[in-house]
Amino acid sequence: MVSKNQIKLITSLQQKKYRQIHQLFIAEGVKVIQELLNANFELDHLYETTTVFENLIPEKKTLISESDLKKISCLSTPNNCLALFQIPNKKRSVENGLIVVLDDIRDPGNLGTIIRLCDWFGIEQLVCSEQTVDVYNPKVVQATMGSISRVSLSYLDLEKYLAKSKLPIFGTFMDGKNVYHEDLPKEGILVLGNEANGISDKLEKLVTTKLAIPRFGNLQQTESLNVATATAIFLSEFRRK
């Protein structure tokens, strides 16, 4: 049974303001929840329609009905479990290896997919502008499929961050150099821009090398690639070289 106060708290966590107030976020589904538990994220409480996580202490979980799960779930088709986790303390970003920087990414699905891509390609540092969608947005958490537990993510003033960096800064642009022809380093910063407007002018000035994915279609009329798709191509090239 879920009380009215619990429903009110859980549904409020769909908004960033209340996630910050309570320092809690929502995770749904066995895979995502298990990944977070394995990574030692601190569980606040688990709600499940059937007993899935048998090793958890009884005080940390509640057996609920499917109708109650629908009331608290962020999904149109709920899974069989939903958990609340405490938001971990912020980690200081470390400047080594290949770092991905996101300038004003607004779509939760895009951010979640990019986090999964970073996990896949072994990118440990993901730095976001302060305007980028919140990593603990339930749709972002869901889209990461657990990769949120293995990628360190920071929200910073990107202009200050890039200005101080000693690493080469690569920016993604339509008119940049062909990424397939460039000699790409093992260490550096890869900047990707907003879904509609690309990289902002203030950050463009700090980019040392502009990169582009060439279009191969005969008509050359495709406006742009989805930012998550572009991220996959760029990271693949950096790792291949």
Residues 6 or more apart in contact with residue 220 via CB below 8 angstroms: none
In the numeric block, which tokens belong to residue 205? 């000035």
9-18 burial, b if ≥16 CB within 10 A, otherwise e? bbeebeeeee
Closest CA to 102 of 192, 16, 176: 192
How far does CA 208 lie from the centroid of its chain? 25
Distance between start and end Cα atoms, the chain: 55
pLDDT digits (tens, 9 = 90+) for 15-68: 999 999 999 999 999 999 999 999 999 999 999 999 989 889 999 999 999 999
Residue 183 CB coordination number (10 Å): 5
Across the strands, what pairs with 128? 102, 155
Contact 132, 100 (CB under 8 A): no
Contact 49, 112 (CB under 8 A): no
Only one residue has tokens 């990769």, namely 147
Angle, helix 108-120 to helix 227-240, in steps of 10 degrees: 10
> Is the per-residue pLDDT at 219 higher than 70?
no
Helix (H, G, I), strand (E, B) or coil at 160: helix
Alpha helices by DSSP H, the chain: 4-12, 16-22, 30-38, 66-72, 108-120, 138-144, 158-164, 201-204, 227-240
Q: Give the pLDDT score at 84.
A: 98
pLDDT digits (tens, 9 = 90+) for 47-60: 999 998 988 999 99
Only one residue has tokens 């072994």, namely 122
Q: Give the pLDDT score at 96.
A: 86
- Of the CA atoms within 13 Å of residue 108, those in its CB half-sphere come to 14
Q: What size, in residues, is the chain?
A: 241
Proportion of the chain above pLDDT 70, given as a percent: 98
94 versus 71: which is more confidently predicted?
71
